[in-house]
Amino acid sequence: MKFRAEIDIMPLKEILDPQGKAVKLGLDNLGVKDVQDVRIGKHIQLEIEAADKAEAEQKVELACKKLLANLIMEFYEYKIFEAEMA
């Protein structure tokens, strides 16, 4: 079966995100007021072949833990969809 994983990777809350800070400045200059905070991460899509959702999940876990995210500085969240239904 084909699955699609939608993965979000974000800098840990306690870590300063200079990119987000710079973008917040840009938003202020644009005139978008009352933005309290901006944090920037990554969105990654994987298309995976797996026997079932559980196996797809295992693969996504391994990918996130070992390569896609660095758990010292980031955390990840994901959702897995059956590709046909997408």
Partner 1 sequence: MKFGVIVFPGSNCDHDIYSVLKDTFKQETVKLWHKSTDLEGCDFIVVPGGFSYGDYLRSGAIARFSPIMNEVIKHAENGGYVLGICNGFQILTEAHLLPGALLRNNNQKFNCKNIFLQATSQNSLITQNTDRAKAYKIPIAHAEGRYYASDKDLNELIANDQILFRYCDKNAKVTEESCPNGSKMNIAGICNKERNVFGMMPHPERAADDILGNTDGRIIFESILQLVNN
Name the residues that contact partner 1, by CB under 8 A.
11, 15-16, 18-19, 22, 42, 67-68, 70, 72-73
SS3 79: strand
Supply the minimum distance, in Å, between the C-beta of residue 72 and partner 1: 4
**CB 1, CB 51: distance < 8 Å:** yes
Distance of closest approach, residue 42 Cβ to partner 1, in angstroms: 8
Task: Identify which of residues 24 and 83 has a Cβ nearer to partner 1 in the complex.
Answer: 24
Dist CA 64 CA 76 (whole Å): 7
11 pairs with which residues across the strands?
74
Please, which residue, 2 or 42, has the CB nearer to partner 1? 42
**Could you tell me which of 77, 66, 85 has the C-alpha nearest to residue 6?**
77
Residue closer to partner 1 (CB basis): 32 or 71: 71
